[in-house]
Structure 1
Amino acid sequence: MFLLKYFMFSKKINCPVPFDQQPLNEYFLLKESFLFSWSVSHKNTFISGLFVLFIVLFFLFAIFISIFISVSNFSKFLLLNLLFSNLFIFVLFIRLYLGWSYVVKRLMSSTVFYEESGWYDGQVWIKTSDYLIQDRLVGIYQVMPCIVRIKYSCLSIFFNCLLIYLFVSIF
């Protein structure tokens, strides 16, 4: 695994794209970052991390609501707390989705736009068949399942937010 990762994470000789802007290296950098590594972890780790995040946010927003918002009854306090926690997690999932969709778009594309030294001198490189096959395989089998997981999680959290908002408006 280390040798394969070293080979894929090395600078390509016949690729004019700078190292940090190569789509496969962008994938590896994103996969190693703190927030995005959690989204590609095993299913049980993902769910337990989501649960821990929700519990931490629930207590933080409980403190926030009790300090800054005056709530008349406990049920409304609880529902507002659930709503704020779910909204924060929803925004987090939107960020995860946008990051992974950018990477998969660059992996699946047959051309790569890159900047040599600044925003004013961008170039377009057409991938060779080897790079194209390798990038598309990584995009399809590594990134797309993660995007599907994030989409379904985001949709379920969105519907939770709608349901909680309806309950808040009733009480």
Structure 2
Amino acid sequence: MCISKKICPVPFDQQPLNEYFSLRSSWFFSWSTLTLNKYLIKIFNIFVFLFIVLIPLALFIVSNKISLYKLLFLNVFIVTLIFLLIFIRLYLGWSYIAKRLVSATVFYEESGWYDGQLWVKSSEILIKDRLIVFYEVIPFLRRVKYSILMILIVLLIEKLIYLLIL
């Protein structure tokens, strides 16, 4: 869905619509585009994988004798922190694309950082880009925002429980 060079001087990879398609098809950012069931299954699978992989890290952090449930709880806390970073990255990527699609102007670089240009979108392209943002990108952003909120709540609960265990 490339815009011709006569209409848009922006290089192919820097066109907001092409950036959106690239982000949507990427392995990492496509998580938030899955159906809710697949999204939750993906998150659970990644959580289990990280939990298993990070057990040695939790053992290394607490080198002294510690009970098994405290060790497992520490590992869950570490995995949840990693999840928070992952979802912040998801949010930043989708919000960047949303900003580029909603904007009436597009900043682009022709050959390097020193020759930036500004292109003003036509009303046709602007309307199409904004429809994509409101009907496709914003639901992804909303899902990621709610996920971040849930992760923060879980982190708070984990921290309180961990303090009660000590």
TM-score bucket of the superposed structures, by smaller chain: over 0.9
State the one-letter code of the partner of 1:121.
D
Q: Which runs of 5+ in 1 are unaligned?
A: 1-7
Q: Does 1:79 align with 2:79?
A: no
Q: 2:53 aligns with which of 45, 51, 60?
A: 60
Counterpart mapping for 1:97-136 below 5 A? 97-136=91-130
**What's the secondary structure of 1:123's corresponding residue?**
strand
Encode CA deviations 1:71-126: one digit per residue, 9 max, x unaligned. Answer: 51122112101100111111000000000000000000011011111111111111
Identity value in percent? 48
Instruction: Determine the C-alpha separation between the residues in 1 that align with 2:3 and 2:128.
Output: 15
Tell which deviates more after alignment, 79-88 or 61-70: 61-70
Q: How much has 1:165 moved relative to structure 2? A: 1.5
**What's the secondary structure of 1:34's corresponding residue?**
coil
- Normalized against structure 2, the TM-score is what? 0.93
**What's the secondary structure of 2:92's corresponding residue?**
helix
Q: How much has 1:42 moved relative to structure 2? A: 1.2
Encode CA deviations 1:113-141: one digit per residue, 9 max, x unaligned. Answer: 11111111111111001110110011111
Q: 2:4 aligns with which of 12, 26, 33?
A: 12
Q: How much has 1:12 moved relative to structure 2? A: 2.1
* Count of matched residue pairs: 163
Q: Hey, what does 2:153 align to over in structure 1?
A: 159
